[in-house]
Structure formats: C-alpha cells, structure tokens
C-alpha cells in the first residue's frame, strides 16, 4: 500500500462528511495530512465530495448509484457502507493528480 493509498483511506470519512453536509473538524484533517499537504488535502476533500452527490432542491442523491433521496446522516452512512472503495479510489486519483501538478 502506497502512502497515497494510506492517506486516501484515512480521508474517506471526511469526504463522506463533506458530501453529506456534516460538519468536519479540520484540526483532525490537519493532524492526518500534516502542514505540508493540508491545502492539497482540503482541496481534494472538497472536489471529491462535490463530485459524488447531486443536490436537487436541497435534497441529496448519490451520483455513484443514482439512489436517494437521503438525509445528511443517511447520505453519510450510504457513502461509508456502500461506496467506501469508490471513495478511496477517487481520493487516491485526485491526490495523485494534484501532487504531480506541483
């Protein structure tokens, strides 16, 4: 497992929270990412979270499987339980793309 995969695994919960609209404790993200990667990780969390949901009239739908509508908690649980692997892959790819662009 590469370092990017390891970091992606630890960021799954934060991406799911951001996508669901649940508050994120950014100090925990800072501890996981470190000061050098914090800005990149913040951008990755925001980008991936916005790509995996569809919001229609304030109601959340999963873009990965077109299921919904979900409440905030329901969306979070759906993403964590059903799409954990897809989230990890999306986070890994986005991290790799942004780190190589440096």
Q: Is the pLDDT of residue 1 over 80?
A: no
Share of the chain above pLDDT 90, in %: 86
For the residues 29-49, what does the mean pLDDT come to?
Answer: 95
* Nearest-5° Cα angle at 41, 52 to 66: 5
Average pLDDT of the chain? 94
Q: Is the pLDDT of residue 59 over 80?
A: yes
H/E stretch holding 25 reads none
Q: Is the pLDDT of residue 46 over 80?
A: yes
Instruction: Specify which residues 56 forms β-bridges with.
Output: 59
Task: Spell out the domain ranges in the chain.
Answer: 3-95
Contacting residues for 9 by C-beta, under 8 A, at least 6 apart: 88
Taking CA atoms, 6 is separated from 2, 38, 55, 64, 83, in Å, by 6, 15, 30, 22, 17
0.95 cut: is pTM over it?
no
């Amino acid at each position: 497992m590469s370092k990017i995969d390891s970091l992606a695994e630890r960021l799954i919960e934060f991406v799911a929270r951001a996508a669901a609209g649940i508050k994120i404790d950014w100090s925990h993200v800072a501890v996981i990412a470190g000061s050098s990667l914090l800005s990149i990780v913040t951008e990755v969390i925001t980008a991936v979270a916005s790509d995996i949901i569809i919001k229609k009239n304030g109601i959340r739908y999963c873009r990965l499987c077109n299921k919904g509508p979900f409440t905030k908690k329901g969306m979070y649980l759906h993403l964590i339980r059903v799409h954990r692997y897809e989230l990890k892959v999306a986070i890994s790819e986005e991290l790799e793309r942004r780190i190589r662009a440096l």
